[in-house]
A and B are shown apart, each in its own frame.
Chain A
Amino acid sequence: MKILVADDSKVMRQIVIRTLRQAGHGGHDIVEAENGRDALEKVQTEQPDLVLSDWNMPEMNGIDCLAALRASGSQVKFGFVTSEGSDEMRQRAAAAGALFLITKPFTPEAFDEALQGILG
């Protein structure tokens, strides 16, 4: 399986990748993107099975990236990893087609719970 990790922070991308490993999901191919626009392009070129995306990013934010993906016909599995976990944000994420929203800071357990049934 291939996972695209989109976050403008290199530090946070490293932490997400490390946490995937700690959650028992370390055996997947990882592709990184620096913002929503980069993620949008890499979904086309890399064909990941899952996108783990920050919300608040320069160039293009995560929710606009998800909307652009769906508008282009992509049904790639998509989940947010973001510092904003209010009900409003969760509703917007779900309405746009996100499968889950993990809030930062997170634990490996939160990743495992969100990814159960999504990752083989």
Chain B
Amino acid sequence: MSVAAPELTDVQAIVEQVWSSFLGEAEPLLPQPVPAGAPFPAEDAWSAAITVNGTDGGWSGMVTVELAEKVAFSLTAEMLGVEDVEDGDVADAVGELVNMIGGNIKSLMPGPSALSLPVVAAGRAAHSSEAVEVARFDGLWIGQPVRVSVHVTSIGEN
């Protein structure tokens, strides 16, 4: 039994490319391994999810981004090039973040498939009991936690 999944190194490379392209190199995103199964280590968090929906054998999965609230607000300000941001801006920026990461992961996996629109929430992400985590990147940015995870809900036959 195997589960089709993107390589962790690929997920990490995508996340680091998004960060360096739009958030600069001044504050690097540092990998910070967290034990499997550990909850996202921030009290106040923002999260966003996007799904890849495969057809005719194409890969399906869900990509989730979780950010400490300070990370969410800081990266929004950085992306917009302004000092003060509102919740609506944060929802927009965090949604675009998961869209970029999800779109790049989709491109790595066998198609055909379609990318959903992102869904953003203030709070940690929750997954159904059928969802299996197949890749996860944990990092620190401006000293606060960042997590990108990939889940699948169906077990591959091949």
- Whether A associates with B in a native complex is yes
* A-contacting residues, B87-112, CB 8 Å: 89, 92-93, 95-96, 99-104, 106-107, 111-112
User: A9 contacts B92, CB within 8 Å?
Assistant: yes
User: B21 contacts A88, CB within 8 Å?
Assistant: no
Q: How far is it, in angstroms, between the C-alpha of A84 and the C-alpha of B115 when the chains are bound? A: 9
**Binding site secondary structure of chain A:** loop
Closest A residue to B116 using CB positions: A56
Interface residues on B, range: 20 to 34
* B80 in the interface (beta carbon within 8 A): yes
B13 CB to closest chain A CB (Å) equals: 12
Contacts between chains A and B (CB distance < 8 A), count: 64
* B-contacting residues, A61-108, CB 8 Å: 82-86, 88-89, 103-107
Known: A58-B117, A88-B111. A82 touches B96 (CB 8 A): no
Known: A88-B112, A105-B22. A9 touches B103 (CB 8 A): no
Interface residues on A, range: 20 to 34
Of A10-18, A44-52, A112-120, the one touching chain B: A10-18
**Residue among A10, A83, A88 having the largest count of chain B Cβ atoms under 10 Å:** A83
B10 CB to closest chain A CB (Å) equals: 14
Closest B residue to A58 using CB positions: B117
**1/0 contact string of A1-25 vs chain B (CB within 8 Å):** 0000000111110110010000000
Q: How far is it, in angstroms, between the C-alpha of A8 and the C-alpha of B93 when the chains are bound? A: 11
Contact partners of B112 in chain A: CB under 8 A: 88
User: B115 contacts A56, CB within 8 Å?
Assistant: yes
Chain B residues engaging chain A, CB cutoff 8 angstroms: 17-18, 21-22, 76, 79-81, 89, 92-93, 95-96, 99-104, 106-107, 111-112, 115, 117
- What 10 A-B pairs come out closest when comparing CB atoms? A83-B103, A105-B21, A86-B107, A84-B103, A9-B96, A83-B100, A11-B93, A104-B100, A105-B18, A11-B92
